[in-house]
Amino acid sequence: MPKIDENDVMRRLKLLSQIEPSCEATERAINRARLGFSWGTATTSYKIKSPIFRFAVAAVLLICAGFLIGHLRAPQSVDVEQLRVDLVKQMNQQWESILEARHAQLREEVYRQVRRDLTEFAAQTLAGSRTLTDQRLVELIQLIEAARMQDRQRIEAALEQVELNRLQDKTQFRNGLETLVARASELQPTRQN
């Protein structure tokens, strides 16, 4: 079944609004349309699936029925231009309500998608932040450990220097004592004389 777009529907409605059929022809057309577009019957070889197409067919049938009723009831000639204006106005109102409902639905879908995207972005940012924080913490621990090792080496070097100085002082003290003892021994024999 070929798809009928809005422009085609509007073009067909315009053509229908300009036709003034006889009463018998109108009745035959309505009966054929009823038989051809009856919902759920097996008289047609296809089923109407599109809600927009169903709406358009229903609108065409309503328009035809309204035109026929108006044509049959009115003794004077129908103002086709006014009928066309009224039909267009009614169709516009119906389409506006449909479009407003669709707009609200799309807006809600966009809001939900934005919320999902923001939640996902926040989760990714948090995961990235955790990873970066962990990385920085590891680097800080490594820097602290390196500083501790450097301090330990400096302390060991200072302790070695202190031990070396102590040994030198001890050696100097012993040498000084030995020198003192040697001089004292030198001085003792002279006193005994």
pLDDT at 19 over 70: no
Model confidence at 120, pLDDT cuts 50, 70, 90, reads: very high
In terms of pLDDT, which residue wins out, 191 or 5? Answer: 5
The pLDDT score that the predictor gives to residue 36 is 66
- Percent of the chain that is helix, strand, coil (3-state, to 5): 85, 0, 15
| pLDDT tens per residue, range 124-135 | 989 888 999 999
Q: Kindly report the CA angle at 54 between 79 and 44, in degrees rounded to 5? A: 110
- pLDDT tens for 28-71 read 777 777 776 665 444 444 555 677 887 888 888 888 888 788 76
Residue 64's pLDDT is 85
Per-residue pLDDT for 5 more than 90? no
Q: Which residues contact 167 (CB under 8 A, 6 or more apart)?
A: none
pTM across the whole model? 0.32
3-state secondary structure of 93: helix
Give start and end residues of each alpha helix (H) in 37-79: 51-73
Average pLDDT, the chain: 81
